[in-house]
Chains A and B, each alone.
Chain A
Amino acid sequence: MRYAMVIDTLKCVGCSDCVVACQTENDVPIGYCRDWITETVNGAYPNIELELKSERCNHCENAPCVRCCPTGASHQLDNGIVLVTGDECIGCGACIESCPYDARFQHPDGYVDKCTFCHHRLEKGQLPACVSVCPTKCMYFGDLDNPNSEVSELLKNRKYKTLAPEAGTKPQVYYLI
């Protein structure tokens, strides 16, 4: 079992529905977000290219946040999801410093918080909140260990990229390009 997310940048319109769905589902405090949209413009007028994508914790296979955590609060499940146990977190900030994606933040209550791939919904057989609300259906979620899953098929047939692969983290959120 290896959960991964695949996001089609050609279908994303940058509506931020995934951001709002996450904030609602996970009671993310006002002013914070676990996922966000980036808009990248490449080139110079008139030859410009726009890329929209939804970003979040990459649930890296080689997660530096898990390595740097002094208490073991940041940990990785067998299915690849990286989680933080609030009651074990001391709020030292080491994991925030270690994340090349700046995907973690200090919750107003003190502990460190971030995207969980909606672990609590997966247990009930539901999709992550962001994936389930996407109006253009540009987000896909599934098991990469299963060669016949939707995400495996997409990565077999489409060109894709990951974010800052040179950081050596083996990110598990893939962007179709």
Chain B
Amino acid sequence: MQEELFTSGRNLPHIDPSLEIWHWPISLYLFLGGLAAGLLFFAGLITVLGKEKDYPAAVKYASIISPIALTLGLLALFYDLTHKFYFWRLYTTIRIESPMSWGAWVLLIITPISFLWVFSYYSEIFPKWQLKYENLNKFEKFLKGNRKNMAYALIPLSIILGVYTGILLSAFNARPLWNNAILGPLFLVSGLSTGAATIILLAKTQKEKHLFGKIDLALIVLELGLIVHMLMGMYAGSEVQLEAMQLLVGGEFTMMFFGFVIILGLIAPAILEFLELRGFKIPVAVPAILVLIGGMVLRFVMVEAGQITRYLY
């Protein structure tokens, strides 16, 4: 038996008895960043494939969400900094070893592109509101001509953004729950899945709803596979990983993880989407909203639970 006490009265704010450095803004940002990555990836992909006319929600309507999500996410990140007005220090250096540095630079590039992308569709989304300035109209035309180039940039950038939201956590070897290589791909797939769900919500034609229903179904199956891999990896891991695992399997986060993420957020929407594709009359908004809630809860569970796990010495 071993018992350890701090006797010098160590009670550091937000650190003792367990870490509470990252709060809801980080979880929210990880969700919104993943969502934006998914939306921008599909917008880019559909454009590169030359199918813009067939899938207007993916390239046009849903992409209004991505700059909003990125802006809200960035505000949440900024809100969580404790030395806020030094944030520009992120952009005085590139630290190859730090995922957060990568993320900051990718956000600096992808956020303006997401705005320009929506602006290139301005007159199609808002046909009634003409722009009054000739220069803005010219700029819109210029962007329209360069949509394909933007799409080529968006595909790799959105993948990096999606993976980075997971790698950000997995780079911390001090938190055994986060420290597994599956987290990057898992968050990317989850982000793509929430992106596809948003497109389903905004799609008007049956054809588009069905295509993204199929894509979402495939992504959900992939995500379940990755979660199984994550749990298996931890079961085969060292003692600290086994302890971390306990939080998700038979611990205080089991209800949230299995109930909200796996059952309500993945299995239920997968079944509903499958039945819908088979011809049953199910409003597609139901599985799409479940996927979005599941994606959000996944981020909250991982951020909160990860901070409880540690090396005990």
Contacts and interface: CB of A to CB of B under 8 A. Distances in A.
A73 B15 contact: no
A88 interface: yes
Contacts of B139: none
A40 B95 contact: no
B19 A102 contact: yes
Interface in A77-113: 86-94, 96-102, 105-106, 109-111
B126 interface: no
B6 A96 contact: no
B21 A93 contact: yes
Interface residues of A, number: 51
Given A31-B13, A33-B12, A91-B84, A70 B174 contact: no
Contacts of B240: 166
Nearest to A67: B97
Contacts of B104: 70
B175 interface: yes
B274 interface: no
A97 B22 contact: yes
A20 B12 CA distance: 15
User: What's the dominant secondary structure at chain B's contact region?
Assistant: loop
B95 A64 contact: no
B313 interface: yes
A68 B12 contact: no
Contacts of B19: 96-97, 102
Given A71-B92, A106-B21, A167-B311, A91 B83 contact: yes
B307 interface: yes
Given A19-B8, A93-B21, A69 B98 contact: yes
A42 B11 CA distance: 23
Interface in A42-74: 42-44, 52, 64, 67-73
B100 interface: yes
B3 A64 contact: no
B248 to A, nearest CB: 19
Interface in A4-39: 14, 16, 19, 31-33, 35-39
A41 B175 contact: no
Contact of B1 (A44, A71, A109): A44
A111 B83 contact: yes
A84 B60 CA distance: 45
B173 A70 contact: no
A35 B7 CA distance: 11
A33 B310 contact: no
A72 B93 CA distance: 8
B237 to A, nearest CB: 12
A122 B89 CA distance: 29
A19 B7 CA distance: 11
18 contacts: A37-B6, A38-B5, A38-B6, A39-B7, A67-B171, A68-B98, A70-B90, A70-B101, A71-B101, A90-B84, A92-B80, A97-B22, A97-B172, A97-B174, A102-B16, A102-B19, A164-B313, A167-B311
Interface of B: 1-16, 19, 21-22, 80-84, 86-87, 89-90, 92-93, 95, 97-101, 103-104, 171-175, 238, 240, 307, 310-311, 313
Interface of A: 14, 16, 19, 31-33, 35-44, 52, 64, 67-73, 86-94, 96-102, 105-106, 109-111, 163-164, 166-168
Closest 10 CB pairs of A and B: A91-B82, A91-B83, A110-B83, A70-B100, A36-B10, A100-B174, A70-B101, A93-B21, A37-B8, A71-B89
